[in-house]
Amino acid sequence: MSPVFQVEHLRKSFGGLAVTQDVSIAMEPGDRVALIGPNGAGKTTFVNLVVGHLAPDSGKVMLAGSDVTALDPIRRVRQGLVRSFQVTRLFSDMTPQEHVALAILQRTGRSGRVLGHFQAMPEVMEEMRALFETLGLSAVATRKVSEIAYGQQRLLEIAIALALKPKVLLLDEPAAGVPQSDTPRIEAALAGLPSDLAVLMIEHDMDLVFRFAKRVIVLAAGAVIFDGSPQDVTKDARVREVYLGNYANDRSAA
């Protein structure tokens, strides 16, 4: 199977500091990959390079065989590379329906249409209802974002991302700030993502990582130091030294 997403020899320095050092990653459709690493490892810089908020000093970002390195973030989204954010970036006075309708209209080239008319568009409403049902948001679809729980706001972010029909979805700490009681909703949403969608999740919650990921990539000092199975990552001496530490020891003892 051909990779749907590739990063080849990506490099980025700020002044004399190399923040991304010759990073190469490939993902196939359906991959579930977690990107982990200590604070300062370069994860945020890497993601910003991938989505187009930063230009690399060298290297390439490929999507479905096409070089998207020179494309701006909006054009990368149109090509199928979509990111959800660590901190919610929603409009508090808009409803989940309005957010998702806007994403659908943008994807289909109708973003110039008056947003309030989306309820008269059967295909938009049908797609929206399916997303809300999948993510458990149907009951709050018409409430203002300011009136719904934070965990539901994170689920809404995932709904918006899915409405853009991504080939590759970057999830930036999807459970960050979510009360523990709402975490199962996030995990259920992740489990229900389309099977052919390649997902790269940046996450600090290692329990979530081990439940979600089929593959783990560890970034340290801007370089990939491990790329393999969740079962093997806790056994890797360098990963244990720079990041997992006591967590790896606890899992080994369990």
Pairing of strands 198-202, 168-172: parallel
Q: What is the spatial distance between Cα 240 and Cα 220, in angstroms, rounded to a whole number?
A: 12
In the CATH hierarchy, which fold is given to the domain comprising 5-253?
Answer: Rossmann fold (3.40.50)
Q: Report the pLDDT value the prediction gives residue 85, as an integer from 0 to 100.
A: 65
Q: Report the pLDDT value the prediction gives residue 222, as an integer from 0 to 100.
A: 94
- What are the residues whose beta carbons fall under 8 Å from the beta carbon of 165, sequence distance 6 or more? 80, 107
pTM: 0.88
Domain spans of the chain, in order of start: 5-253
Contact 142, 173 (CB under 8 A): no
Residue closest to 34 by CA, chosen among 219, 218, 236, 216? 216
Q: Report the pLDDT value the prediction gives residue 183, as an integer from 0 to 100.
A: 84
pLDDT means per 10 residues, the chain with 254 residues, are 93 94 96 93 93 96 96 92 75 93 85 68 92 92 94 92 94 86 86 94 89 95 94 90 67 50
Contact 80, 167 (CB under 8 A): yes
Q: What is the spatial distance between Cα 199 and Cα 96, in angstroms, rounded to a whole number?
A: 23
